[in-house]
Chains A and B, each alone.
Chain A
């Protein structure tokens, strides 16, 4: 029997968690002598109040959708992929090579090529930890997190010594040629006569991210492989008994996961920066873990959670711009939201379940009494 109606699980619990996080953040802001109400208004208007604000929110959200999906798909086979950060960095390298060294005639072809390259590089970076887990039992959490550092060192080496244009101070590649520049939401919506801010970085990669959500849903719930991944995740021994190869499932789910994380690069590297800079991922790989947790590893949930984190990021940036709240405090606020929605889920869930059970018992008691 379900303890709670579905709407309570999907809507009520995240809302209450958010509210708790907001109250606590408000107290924190109050404690440093700022007005929490003004701060909240600024965060909301700064993240969803204009097309400019939406442009930034959706740009961040696109990053988080990719990394969130990456973590989510690995979760389905009970693999904890903490390496999204490194896989996304390598994806950026794939995008950089494809954009710099292949003369693309049009952005659409470049996008296809870059998507393939980013997925390939990301998947390749996940392959070794996956193989070590599948064949040698090296724990995936340890290996993927160590691969993040290797990726950072590798990219640092390449950018400082190989890819950087001569004489440039910034350890970054040259700017990608013009035909590889992706149309922003301003260009896309402008074609339909909808005005959208020109300055915001959200771009066509958002549509790819939404397609990826649909693709992951189809894969996990509508294909044989998806069934095998879920079966393996629920019980390895039962899956083995049913003839599912653990090595194959671990490898495939991690390769898909790494590929999705790598694809983030078409948004931040190709769409926004239009060159590969050092540390281009900026922790999006780690945010993906929180996004997947909050979204319950479901593509729709990941999509919504990614938007929420986009709002937090962009709202936080506006807060840093227009108030005296230091940026460390903004990280605290973001952390509180992650803590309440991700880690302290049961704190809200258990009392609510009890409440719903009590309500139901009351109902059955009255119907029995009649």
Chain B
């Protein structure tokens, strides 16, 4: 009898450890692809950082079509991957249906809220980070005209633009903001040539600082800005190094941290609603040796003061998503 119990216990332990070995985390990249120099790539960086630090492995897939969202989620869940991280708001509907079918699997969705017991929803306060770089832009501008170049015209990018405009107007109430979107198809995320043309157009209208929130298109914006001798602002990851001394700063959105934390927590991941804002380092502005000469002590002091006010809740940056209007900018 005792032998039998031991045997059963041993096989149960074996089964458990086998299950644990299978529970590799998985990540699903959105249609932009994992090398988009922006959002997806940042998520990929977080996953790779986890893999190199822990020596672990993770499953991954880049989507090719919208219909594959549910497919990829189900396949990974059935294969025992846990947790499953998905980068992008497009997964919300699929996840809402799938999550209930796999109650033992933890899911993490970035940029969107899905209200299910086994889902962690990570959203970023992009408007707060954009507000700070907007202040910097207004303070660095000599002409009083600054530009914004978005990727595709979607609500998320309007959220960036709206926060930026508020920051600009906070630092210089008389400033002019020129906002352009690159396009209306997903190609707008990866069109550096069009980004370059829009930058030239904004320069001809007097802009001397341009903020690009446009994925791969931003590479063209930053390049043209550097070539024309004006300042630019990068997005998502720290892009200051691309043109040292000519990129004013970058609005950092730490998607990599969100993925890294999810992978590190593993199956013990805490579910629920998770806002990554200025207060917890989810967004911010980049300061390093490449742009140290561009950001004066006064500018830094002003921005850090605003940052502290936002973090403490004293200053509220209007979120475009809350009512789909924007003070200071019309779309």
Contact = CB atoms under 8 A, between A and B. Distances in A.
B155 A320 contact: no
B71 A160 contact: no
B62 A167 contact: no
Interface in A276-306: 277-280, 282
Contact of B66 (A164, A277, A313, A331): A277
Interface string B97-140: 00000000000000110000000000000000000000000000
Contact of B93 (A156, A164, A175, A320): A175
Contact of A153 (B65, B184, B323): B184
B94 to A, nearest CB: 9
A169 B67 contact: no
Interface stretch (A129-137, A138-146, A267-275): A267-275
Contact of A170 (B65, B71, B74, B92): B92
A149 B194 CA distance: 15
A169 B111 contact: yes
A152 B321 CA distance: 23
Nearest to B123: A169
A170 B90 contact: yes
B36 interface: no
B175 interface: no
| Residue among B61, B71, B186, B323 having the largest count of chain A Cβ atoms under 10 Å | B71
Contacts of A160: 153-155
B75 interface: yes
A330 interface: yes
B321 A167 contact: yes
B51 interface: no
Interface of A is mostly: helix
B11 interface: no
A316 B324 CA distance: 39
A284 B153 CA distance: 23
Contacts of A56: 67, 71
Contacts of B93: 170, 175, 273, 275
B62 A166 contact: no
A333 to B, nearest CB: 12
A59 B203 CA distance: 48
Contacts of B66: 273, 277, 279-280, 282
Contacts of B71: 56, 199, 317, 321
A149 B183 CA distance: 10
Contacts of A175: 93
A157 interface: yes
A327 interface: yes
Nearest to B75: A321
A317 B74 contact: no
B62 A320 contact: yes
B64 A320 contact: yes
A169 B62 contact: no
A282 B65 contact: yes
Interface in B16-72: 33, 61-62, 64-68, 70-72
A68 interface: no
A316 B63 CA distance: 11
B67 A59 contact: yes
Given A59-B67, A160-B153, A272-B67, A167 B33 contact: no
B204 interface: no
A156 B157 CA distance: 13
A327 B33 contact: yes
A71 B199 CA distance: 39
Contacts of B72: 321
Contacts of A313: 64-65
Given A320-B64, A327-B64, A156 B153 contact: yes
Interface in A166-200: 166-171, 175, 199
B67 A201 contact: yes
Given A156-B184, A273-B67, A327-B64, 14 more contacts: A152-B185, A164-B155, A166-B323, A169-B156, A175-B93, A268-B67, A280-B66, A282-B66, A313-B64, A317-B64, A317-B68, A320-B61, A320-B62, A327-B33
20 contacts: A152-B184, A153-B184, A155-B184, A156-B153, A156-B184, A156-B185, A166-B324, A169-B92, A169-B112, A170-B93, A170-B112, A199-B70, A275-B93, A277-B66, A278-B154, A279-B185, A280-B66, A317-B71, A320-B62, A331-B64
Enumerate the 3 nearest inter-chain pairs by beta-carbon distance, A residue then B residue, closest first: A156-B184, A153-B184, A169-B89
